[in-house]
Chains A and B, each alone.
Chain A
Amino acid sequence: MPRQVLRLGALAILMVASLLLLDACSRDSRPGEIRSAVSQLPQTLDPRYATDAASARVNRLLYRSLVDFDEHFRSTPSLASWRVLSPRLFRFTLGPSGRTFHDGRYLTAEDVAATYQSVLELPDSPHTGEFANISKIEVRDENTLDFFLNEADSNFPARLVLGILPAELIARSHDFSRQPVGSGPFKFFAWHRSLNLDRISDKQRFVFEEIRDPTVRVLKLVRGETDILQGDLPPELVGYLQKQPGLHVQESEGSNFAYIGLNFQDAVLQNPLVRQALAHAIDRQAIIRHTLAGGSRLAETILPPEHWAGNASLEPYTYDPEAARELLHRAGLSLPLKLVYKTSTDAQRVRLATMMQAQMREAGIQLEIRSLDWGTFFDDIKRGNFQLYGLMWVGIKTPEIYHLAFHSSSIPPKGANRGHYIDRKTDELITVSDWPNATARIHEQLPYIPLWYEGQFAATRKHIVGYQLKPDGSWDGLVNVKRSKLKSVFPGKNTLEGF
């Protein structure tokens, strides 16, 4: 009787073991590809619908836009250069580069006009509103087209960053979200679970895999199942990666702005003394030093100092809990002051919130943290249902953001002035595009408590060379990345010291 039982057990163990063995023999190493593990794959590859960061990053590889940005975030010609014929008329002339679509068609002014026309006409595109100012698009010849505006907008070229699609396919309602055709440096190959792109210049295959769990992304890189990781890791995992042989970790300054938003509809937060107290109650330096990726730095306003509209002369709010207490007393409040801080469920965000909670306690502020799932959290923010919240502006290129975030006409649903900040002087300065004074006024009024620009980092396997990290976290560096000829001796195992 027990023999039978033992036999059953042995059989089970044998089954599992043979499965393991079978697998070990049949592994296929897929040579030649360059693989990247990302926390999230794009929602859509149609630039007319894309709003999330991953879609924007991949679409930059697949499509070309009329205009791009240099390192000071000034608009520079990409597909086209432009001339301002009148404040309400811009003429764009297509240049010679990037004119071939992946299906062989030649990109002309007709395609540009069709792309923007279709965005204006689509019933469900989130970008329609951004281009509402365009009154008419006229094609002059194969290389030239004119944009007529309803109202003067000196900043207009900086908006034309939409990828250009072939007119003929737009007319046929081609599904660009799954079968993109652009003229960018990468060509779409397949998207089944993982997203596969081919680099036009040398037919190098790139594979993007979505791995949600940060620990698993790290393990995959260490084991060599993926070649490139960028961003979205807690700092202790970055530290772990730096200690691994066979990996190369690079860090750089970033331009994505983290902040605490305040609600001006709240009686307590309306008082400027309370907002100043909050700004003095957070030890940003300590948080940057201990819990953020290398390359993170203090931020005072949304656009970084190297931006042409940035402001490097803003005096940082220092950590001074005594002064914060004093300010709260002067505001006539009895301590501790209770405030509710909303954030997402992301582990790193919650950790940052608990650190700020501990620092604020010193200043007599009792912070209650509410960690909500993303949908609920963002919905609350948009509805103005919060006292304090933590968020980050990602990939911001133009000072237009100050209008979107702080102008009194931008209160949701018309914009992103979620804290209902209304200040006539700020409005005036934004309207005349006086960015040094506008940023100074905002810095003094504190509708946001500025925190930091989050540093960027990328970890690559040693045989991946030439990957360049971009401050906004884009994946443009993939254009130049190469696979060196050297291969690991034991492809399955973590033994790369042999290089």
Chain B
Amino acid sequence: MIRRLLGVVPVVFGVLLLTFLLVHLVPGDPVEVMLGESAPVADRAKLRAELGLDQPLPLQFVHYLKALAHGDFGRSIHSRKPIADMLRERLPATASLALCALVIAVGLGLPLGIIAALRQGKWQDGLATLLSLTLSAMPHFWLGPLLMLLFALWLGLLPVSGMSEPGAIILPALTLGFGLAAILTRMTRASLLEVLNEDFVRTARAKGIEERKVILRHAMRAALLPIVTVVGLQLGSLLAGTVITETVFGWEGIGRLLVESIEKRDYPVTQACVVVIALSYVVINLLTDLLYVRLDPRVRFAV
């Protein structure tokens, strides 16, 4: 357990080193971006020295780590705001959208998957399969405007986009949630079907346990492992920011921050975003691993 936690340290260090190197080695120069085309060479050299960009890379990396340890991500080249503030503003938006989408996905995907598995081959199964395939095949940039037309323009219930009006989170969360629900439905169905034919399910039924309990307490618990894996991965990618959905709905999340920073060549922001996204993946993965142990007593971390 402790070892699993310690194992995170080299991963995090690797992430920091890799993003630092990638951002600093790609062609393009923040000084060029800041000064534009017409600046004299002397000005460029001066600014480069001021930003510490004239120092050797390893030294820059050490400075970067030192600042990071104090929670200092540096400043944006464009807005000149501290990046930590920008992240503090964007992360909650992404997190709340991710959680809402996940709730919708689990709320729709699990029941549909269970129905499909129990009614295998019947019309309910066909319907659930059709529904999930349709939803997972819809790209977000198309499903988003479609939901806007339906809920905002025709029904007039929800705002088209933005974050200021209450309920604005529902449409982007539905857009994301539908796609995830589709995958969860397929996953739940497959996983539950596999388990339903196992001996322990037959034993549970033979003991005269209520069918509801057999499914939910015995079969589902065994079937949950692959589902948890998928949910963990999905949550990771949701927290990484869902660029298209965030752009379509004007949701000021981390994904848009990343893309905007790349477009503007705002390297410090790009770097900070990548670090945060990578770290959230690491944390979610760690949590998933820990959850495995609770779910399945057979899983043990090597001592």
- Residues of chain A at the chain B interface (Cβ within 8 Å): 1-6, 8-9, 11-12, 15-16, 19-20, 22-24, 26-28, 43-44, 51, 123-124, 126, 128-130, 132, 175, 177-178, 193-194, 209-213, 215-216, 219-220, 222-223, 225, 373-375, 379, 382, 412-416, 490, 492-494
Contact B79 A177 (CB under 8 A): yes
> B115 CB to closest chain A CB, in angstroms?
5
Contact A220 B161 (CB under 8 A): yes
On chain A, the residues within 8 Å of B262 by CB distance are 373, 375
Contact B110 A8 (CB under 8 A): yes
> B201 CB to closest chain A CB, in angstroms?
12
On chain A, the residues within 8 Å of B50 by CB distance are 123-124
Q: A27-B167, A375-B262 are in contact. Are A211 and B37 (CB under 8 A)?
A: no
CA distance A330 to B249 in the complex (A): 54
> B133 CB to closest chain A CB, in angstroms?
18
CA distance A490 to B43 in the complex (A): 58
Contact A209 B78 (CB under 8 A): no
CA distance A44 to B79 in the complex (A): 6
Contact A225 B162 (CB under 8 A): yes
Q: Which of A11, A216, A490, A493 contacts B248 (CB 8 A)?
A: A216
> A12 CB to closest chain B CB, in angstroms?
4
Contact A128 B43 (CB under 8 A): yes
On chain A, the residues within 8 Å of B21 by CB distance are none
On chain A, the residues within 8 Å of B35 by CB distance are 124, 126
CA distance A220 to B165 in the complex (A): 13
Can you list 29 contacts pairing A with B, beta carbon distance less than 8 Å?
A2-B119, A5-B111, A6-B111, A6-B115, A8-B107, A8-B114, A15-B107, A16-B107, A20-B157, A23-B166, A23-B167, A26-B166, A28-B165, A43-B79, A129-B39, A132-B40, A177-B80, A178-B79, A213-B247, A216-B248, A219-B152, A219-B153, A223-B159, A225-B162, A373-B262, A379-B27, A414-B38, A493-B156, A494-B153
- Residues of chain B at the chain A interface (Cβ within 8 Å): 27-28, 34-41, 43, 46-47, 50, 78-81, 104, 107-108, 110-112, 114-115, 118-119, 145, 148-149, 151-153, 156-167, 170, 174, 210-212, 214-216, 247-250, 252, 256, 262-265
Q: Which residue of chain B is the closest to A207 with respect to CB atoms?
A: B164
Counting from the closest, the 9 A-B pairs by CB-CB distance are A23-B167, A12-B107, A126-B36, A1-B211, A9-B111, A493-B156, A129-B38, A8-B111, A492-B156
> B49 CB to closest chain A CB, in angstroms?
10
Contact B39 A128 (CB under 8 A): yes
Q: Which residue of chain A is the closest to B158 with respect to CB atoms?
A: A23
Contact B78 A5 (CB under 8 A): no
On chain A, the residues within 8 Å of B265 by CB distance are 375
Q: In the complex, how many residue pairs between chain A and chain B have their CB atoms under 8 Å apart?
A: 167
> B209 CB to closest chain A CB, in angstroms?
11
Contact B156 A416 (CB under 8 A): no
> A491 CB to closest chain B CB, in angstroms?
9
On chain B, the residues within 8 Å of A375 by CB distance are 28, 262-265
CA distance A178 to B82 in the complex (A): 12
> B161 CB to closest chain A CB, in angstroms?
5
Contact B167 A123 (CB under 8 A): no
Q: Which of A9, A12, A223, A413 contacts B152 (CB 8 A)?
A: A223
Contact A5 B118 (CB under 8 A): yes
CA distance A97 to B248 in the complex (A): 43
Q: A2-B115, A177-B80 are in contact. Are A222 and B170 (CB under 8 A)?
A: no
CA distance A11 to B28 in the complex (A): 53
Contact B38 A130 (CB under 8 A): yes
Q: Which residue of chain A is the closest to B262 with respect to CB atoms?
A: A375
> A5 CB to closest chain B CB, in angstroms?
5
CA distance A213 to B165 in the complex (A): 18
> B162 CB to closest chain A CB, in angstroms?
6
Q: Which residue of chain A is the closest to B110 with respect to CB atoms?
A: A8
> B106 CB to closest chain A CB, in angstroms?
9
Q: Which residue of chain B is the closest to A379 with respect to CB atoms?
A: B28
On chain B, the residues within 8 Å of A2 by CB distance are 115, 118-119
Q: A4-B216, A23-B157, A216-B148 are in contact. Are A9 and B47 (CB under 8 A)?
A: no
On chain B, the residues within 8 Å of A209 by CB distance are 162, 250
Q: Which residue of chain A is the closest to B109 with respect to CB atoms?
A: A12
On chain A, the residues within 8 Å of B114 by CB distance are 5, 8
CA distance A415 to B43 in the complex (A): 16
On chain A, the residues within 8 Å of B43 by CB distance are 123, 128-129
